[in-house]
């Protein structure tokens, strides 16, 4: 496995806890009770105004209002419940906040239902329940046309942009952020957050303009509004843009210039993100000590962030530094930490994508069901009319029944097609066409059980593209994607031999073969290595060498299972990478490792 590879894509660095903070400062700022001539209404209005400016007074006032609930007019109870839900969510008790806000979804006031729905969306996002959050977001956005307050509409659109960027749906994130900017009464604070999400989406979609004027203006707007955390997240995106255009030194200087301000924010995700990038950039600029210092800071600030890409990248930098120092033990420790963090990050990305695809499928299914029910309702109405009419109406009913059956058959066919599509998306890596990590693991476990039961041997081949990060950095991610697809195409002999090819993550792949011994597995790995090394890069318009390192492990019955076989192949792969790359190492239990002839790198 090559931990030096940069991700071709990844979820945006969304401010998870800032979602709730955003609600506390913006979503609840307006109250319909300001004109109610009641002391209770005035005190609720006061509590609304004190939420962000004086939390202690707000909490005290809320206690007084709850104590006086029995004397309060019934039409104010929902507003009080709303404040209670906000307080619980803001304190981090998201489950309680959701429980208090959910009954408000049935309130008669559209604005209250809209705000309650968005509170639930943000609470679900903070607890990483993306499926439920997406369902509630769809329901809340369905109320948007009924919301006449442009500022409240803008707030809701920004929440949608934040959420969609967070689950990796950047076209939707861009769409809702730009809609928020187009609202006529959008406040400067909401504009700041919307600009951040627009810039982030454009960067992830590779559609940012070459001119940085709009980005600098967005930073200035956020700074003027006092939103320094958001301003520095925009600077992070600008630094990434510069670094991807070979302006790494300029990107490093930008982050260093604002490092004291970033560290003083006490926002762990921002601090970890910045130091992780600085570690990468300092390593690229051949400043190992500075890279080590930033990487260690990123690891420290990533505590409690198990799905963190900055943690994985920082561990990768520490691994490369230890490898350069010749400290194999420390390199292995950092490599394992990198692999664990990288796996958690990839699993989280997959979970977000699966949540979006699942909810989208549910929405399509629901809409189709509604259409079908509408057609059935129309049919029932016509049947009632037909009971009072002659043979002409009977013929009409017969025609409609046939139409309904055709519609139902079409709907069922579409359902089967969508289910097949979702299954294919879950089982196949979209870029390369290889098996996804989860599908490859399950298929391999089944094949190994069958091989063991039938007394046959099986082999696991792991390979990792050498210096893939250099290809991405020098020629760009489209060229890197081309290399990944060609590497999988080079595995055709393994597939023809009845094997399966899976992408485990980044530029690491695996091949499972059944009914082969150690020599045959080694020969197959050598064949794949030769085919990858023979790939002609001229098609990309650039000239560079492509190679891969291979680790092979063979299971003879009774086998130890998938995990043990992968661990043995991984050990052999690690040795192949360490001893010069572009070669095959074979794991031999009790006998160490054997390698094919050393290949020129």
Encode pLDDT of 211-228 as tens digits: 999 999 999 999 998 888
More confident residue, 417 or 457: 457
At 345, the pLDDT band (50, 70, 90 cuts) reads confident
Average pLDDT over residues 512-522: 94
Q: What is the DSSP letter of 106?
A: G
pLDDT attached to residue 501: 95
CA dist., res. 526 & res. 582, Å (int): 10
Percent of the chain residues past pLDDT 90, beyond the cut = 41
More confident residue, 371 or 177: 177
Query: Kind of pairing, strands 584-588 and 548-555?
Result: parallel
Q: Look at residues 240, 198, 244 and name the one whose alpha carbon lies nearest to residue 217.
A: 198
At 567, the pLDDT band (50, 70, 90 cuts) reads very high
Q: What is the DSSP letter of 435?
A: B
Does 49 have pLDDT greater than 80? no
Lowest mean pLDDT among 122-126, 361-365, 594-598: 594-598
The whole-chain average pLDDT of the chain stands at 83
Could you tell me the pTM of the whole model? Answer: 0.55
Average pLDDT over residues 114-143: 86
CA dist., res. 197 & res. 161, Å (int): 7
Does 31 have pLDDT greater than 50? no
Edge-to-edge order in the sheet of strand 584-588: 500-505, 508-514, 458-465, 548-555, 584-588, 592-595
Q: Which residues contact 173 (CB under 8 A, 6 or more apart)?
A: 12, 161, 162, 164, 165, 197, 200, 201
Phi, psi (degrees; rounded to nearest 5) at 586: -115, 130
Q: Which residues contact 473 (CB under 8 A, 6 or more apart)?
A: 6, 246, 284
pLDDT attached to residue 381: 74
**E strand map for 12-115:** none
Lowest mean pLDDT among 46-50, 95-99, 195-199, 249-253: 46-50
Phi, psi (degrees; rounded to nearest 5) at 551: -125, 135
User: Residues 14, 16, 22, 23: is their CA dihedral positive or negative?
Assistant: positive
Does 173 have pLDDT greater than 70? yes
**How large is the angle between the packed helices 213-224 and 228-244, nearest 10 degrees?**
160
């Amino acid at each position: 496995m090559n931990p030096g590879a940069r991700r071709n894509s990844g979820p945006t660095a969304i401010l998870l806890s800032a979602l709730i903070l955003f609600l506390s400062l913006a979503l609840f700022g307006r109250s319909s009770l300001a004109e109610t001539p009641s002391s209770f209404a005035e005190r609720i209005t006061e509590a609304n105004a004190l939420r962000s400016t004086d939390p202690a007074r707000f909490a005290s006032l809320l206690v007084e209002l709850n104590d006086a609930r029995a004397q309060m007019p019934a039409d104010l109870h929902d507003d009080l419940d709303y404040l209670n839900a906000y307080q619980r969510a803001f304190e981090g008790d998201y489950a309680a906040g959701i429980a208090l806000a959910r009954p408000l979804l049935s309130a008669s006031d559209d604005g209250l239902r809209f705000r309650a729905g968005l509170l639930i969306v943000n609470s679900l996002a903070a607890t990483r329940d993306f499926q439920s959050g997406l369902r509630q977001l769809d329901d809340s956005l369905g109320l948007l046309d009924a919301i006449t307050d442009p500022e409240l509409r803008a707030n809701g659109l920004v929440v949608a942009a934040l959420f969609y960027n967070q689950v990796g749906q950047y076209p939707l994130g861009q769409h809702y952020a730009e809609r928020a900017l187009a609202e006529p009464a959008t406040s400067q604070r909401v504009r700041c957050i919307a600009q951040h999400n627009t810039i982030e989406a454009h960067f992830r979609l590779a559609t940012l303009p070459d001119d940085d004027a709009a980005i600098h203006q967005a930073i200035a707007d956020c700074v003027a509004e006092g939103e320094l955390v958001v301003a520095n997240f925009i600077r992070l995106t600008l630094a990434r843009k510069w670094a991807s255009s070979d302006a790494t030194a300029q990107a490093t200087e930008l982050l260093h210039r604002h490092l004291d301000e970033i560290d003083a924010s006490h926002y762990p995700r921002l601090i970890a993100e910045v130091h992780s990038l600085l570690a990468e950039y300092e390593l690229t600029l051949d400043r190992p000590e500075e890279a080590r210092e930033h990487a260690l800071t990123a690891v420290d600030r990533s505590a409690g962030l198990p799905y963190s890409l900055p943690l994985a990248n920082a561990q990768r930098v520490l691994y490369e530094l230890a490898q350069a120092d010749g400290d194999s033990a420390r390199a292995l420790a950092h490599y394992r930490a990198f692999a664990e963090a990288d796996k958690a990050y990839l699993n989280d990305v997959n979970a977000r994508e699966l949540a979006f695809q699942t909810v989208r499928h549910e929405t399509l299914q629901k809409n189709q069901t509604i259409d079908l029910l509408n057609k059935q309702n129309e049919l029932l109405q016509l049947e009632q009319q037909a009971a009072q009419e002659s043979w002409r109406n009977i013929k009409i009913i017969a025609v409609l029944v046939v139409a309904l059956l055709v519609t139902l058959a079409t709907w069922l066919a579409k359902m089967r097609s969508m289910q097949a599509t979702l299954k294919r998306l879950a089982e196949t890596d979209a870029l390369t066409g290889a098996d996804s990590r989860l599908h490859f693991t399950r298929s391999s476990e089944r094949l190994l059980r069958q091989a063991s039961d039938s007394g046959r041997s099986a082999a696991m081949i792991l390979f990792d593209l050498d210096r893939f990060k250099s290809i991405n950095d020098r020629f760009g991610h489209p060229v890197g994607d081309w290399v990944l697809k060609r590497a999988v195409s080079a595995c055709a002999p393994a597939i023809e031999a009845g094997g399966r090819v899976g992408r485990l993550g980044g530029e690491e792949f695996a091949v499972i073969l059944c009914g082969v011994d150690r020599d045959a597995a080694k020969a197959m790995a050598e064949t794949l290595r030769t085919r990858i090394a023979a790939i002609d890069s001229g098609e990309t318009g650039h000239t560079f060498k492509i190679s891969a390192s291979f680790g092979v492990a063979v299971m003879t019955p009774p086998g130890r299972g998938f995990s043990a076989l992968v661990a043995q192949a991984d050990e052999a792969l690690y040795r192949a990478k360490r001893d010069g790359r572009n070669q095959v190492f074979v794991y031999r239990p009790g006998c160490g490792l054997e390698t094919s002839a050393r290949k020129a790198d």
